[in-house]
Chain A
């Protein structure tokens, strides 16, 4: 009798550990790094990590919405660049042919540009039924091309000082990009878990046909997740522009990889319907901490890529093991 209660208790303990596996993984990595490097745990470094992850964080939030519906958005890096240079052009003293606007207005225009590109993705995917992979692969190229056309391939420089605050300033002790990322995260949380839209996202990813028969406008939900992704990409692009003091047309190349990696490490299923925003946050932090830690230990960036790849595959393999034992 005693053994059976013990084993029940033990299995409950392990299933609890399993639930928290991503958080535990993050903590373990942090502990190892804090022993390996004297600099890792100091406040300025930790804040630095947060600042570094905030842009990938924004993209990953959008990517989570998209992947939860069973889709994928490969165009995030290009949309980020487009949103960035469009905004930059409206706050640049060098761009004589575009009006120099109040930074907030310029940001609004940049965000609209991202929303517009996301809307094109969403429309074609939800109405014309082009598969998300193909459509966003096309958009990856289209939006990048538009960015180069718009800037003539040159960085947009000489930006308004007031504008740079959102990339370089601080609110209390936190960098502004970190605050914006956290705010976006909380808002996304409310949408995903507090509003029916979020439930519908899960329902569409879980079984689109069942969702449709339950009266859900499946096309609209799919359309909207790409719009959200486009919006967050542009926001990320604007933050990056402000931080680097220039709208770089080549910014954000291959960013889709880190965003997808964060979502996958966070336990979200690529087939949709299963996953959580908190997991994505942990995924973003794990990637950030590893990049930072390996930098501190002066590990070559070549090795960093290998490590990141191993973690992605390892995380997914763990999920398969669980799915197996679930049967």
Chain B
């Protein structure tokens, strides 16, 4: 009977009851119910594989539930495709953005729905005016005539939101919208969300970042292993209680840090520079040290790591390992000298998704498992199995395609690949982006253990708690240059933000 009330409540935009979904014998959703109210942010929390994405895909018509009912403003609905959901006012801001880079902002927003002259020719004046209106509505100052390829990731996201709004959507689904954003851009996004709430939009919000959830969520629904656990007002939960509901086992503090930095330099960089990417940068990474690099998105951190690893050729400067100058002209040289690089973009530059766990894991260390002219398949398999065991990668077999793994397990495959090259210097760019709490913790534990053995890690991250929780020293990048350094004990969120902006 509660259902009846919810259904008829005008404040309820959408309600889903007892949704069930099976995939190839996997029970992905077990009787999940959720209600979205007008002008609220409803966070959906759970580890990877808890069923968040499946639930969202049902809401937006990508999948159809095997059982259960969905009501949109009291009317029963059943979406057969995302197009239908969109027409009914449900839009999603995807985790992976898919802009058409050579088109303008306005063209992207109204792709396929351009205002026309005489039903044939695009009315660009009208197009830009309408796009400008929507951007103004969310208080974003971008010229609708700018090309998408000139935008930062944060700006792309804003365009994506504008696009969703252009469909007059009252329900927005945001899947990890801040995963590519720095603190400052996140603030802007949250400003937009607040504005949308004021206008009566309901938002489903998925994120692994606890702090954010508590900043913006009104209600929180928790899923675990496809099961509905509970829905509570955000004010009744705190970070610890939320995490314990999500993972059912209590975590004793998220960060694991048991390393002790020494003063022996391991990797030294001297005046390394690359035109238009980053200014001359010098730093020392010591044995046993975790060196954090903080900065806003676009501050040149990733570009700097690419120069160090030889992905892109720097214009000048020196790189030394153990006080020996190296010639690094390609990633191959970097790997030969004991470096490893976990890139920012797992799917774009980390993994080949259509290849197996084995093929991805053994890729960088292939030359080590050789017998004469042929690959020693037995040794290769043993090595891969070692990586799978070491990181407890959840995969039915080494032959499973990487694209079928969860984000956390995919990231572990990347780590496993580098583990097999036995590196001493590990460069990590946003290593925990978009992965669940449990896997995050395992990665922190690995970083800690790895440096305890006298190795060094450079950790680039946009998450302040992560940077502060893991680093021994923190370097801050700003406008493609090093803007300062701060010791672990002196760091605070305020100071770091100040140095970065």
For the complex, give the distance between the alpha carbons of A74 and B5 in Å: 66
Residue of B352, B366, B417 touching A207 (CB-CB under 8 A) = B352
Which range holds the interface residue count of chain A?
Answer: 20 to 34
Q: Does B311 contact A (CB under 8 A)?
A: yes
Residue of A196, A212, A214, A273 touching B375 (CB-CB under 8 A) = A196
Q: With A199-B359, A209-B348, A273-B354 in contact, do A214 and B374 touch (Cβ < 8 Å)?
A: no
Contact in complex: A215, B355 (CB < 8 Å): no
Q: Does B341 contact A (CB under 8 A)?
A: yes
Q: Does A217 contact B (CB under 8 A)?
A: yes
Contact in complex: A213, B373 (CB < 8 Å): no
Complex interface: chain B residues within 8 A of A207 (CB): 348-349, 351-353
Contact in complex: B331, A214 (CB < 8 Å): yes
The chain A residue sitting closest to B347, CB to CB, is: A207
The chain A residue sitting closest to B370, CB to CB, is: A196
Residue of B331, B353, B374 touching A212 (CB-CB under 8 A) = B331
Complex interface: chain A residues within 8 A of B417 (CB): 214
Mark each residue of chain B from 305 to 346: 1 if its CB lies under 8 Å from any CB of chain A, else 0: 000010100000000000000000011101110000101000
Q: Does B25 contact A (CB under 8 A)?
A: yes
Contact in complex: B355, A209 (CB < 8 Å): no
Contact in complex: B348, A199 (CB < 8 Å): no
Q: With A209-B348, A214-B331, A273-B355 in contact, do A194 and B363 touch (Cβ < 8 Å)?
A: no
Contact in complex: A196, B352 (CB < 8 Å): no
For the complex, give the distance between the alpha carbons of A280 and B350 in Å: 29
The chain B residue sitting closest to A11, CB to CB, is: B24
Q: How many B residues face the partner with a CB closer than 8 A?
A: 31
Contact in complex: A8, B349 (CB < 8 Å): no
Q: With A194-B375, A207-B349, A209-B349 in contact, do A216 and B359 touch (Cβ < 8 Å)?
A: no
For the complex, give the distance between the alpha carbons of A212 and B352 in Å: 11
The chain B residue sitting closest to A205, CB to CB, is: B352
Contact in complex: B374, A195 (CB < 8 Å): yes
Contact in complex: A8, B352 (CB < 8 Å): no
Contact in complex: B374, A8 (CB < 8 Å): no
The chain A residue sitting closest to B341, CB to CB, is: A213
Q: Does B364 contact A (CB under 8 A)?
A: yes
Given contacts A11-B24, A196-B367, A213-B349, 17 further A-B contacts (CB under 8 A): A195-B374, A196-B375, A199-B359, A199-B375, A202-B359, A203-B352, A206-B353, A206-B354, A206-B355, A207-B349, A210-B363, A212-B330, A212-B331, A213-B311, A213-B341, A214-B363, A273-B355
Closest 7 CB pairs of A and B: A206-B352, A207-B352, A214-B364, A215-B332, A215-B335, A209-B349, A214-B363
21 pairs, CB–CB < 8 Å, chain A vs chain B: A11-B24, A194-B374, A195-B375, A196-B366, A199-B362, A202-B352, A202-B355, A203-B352, A206-B359, A207-B352, A207-B353, A210-B349, A210-B351, A210-B352, A211-B352, A213-B309, A213-B343, A215-B331, A216-B363, A273-B352, A273-B354
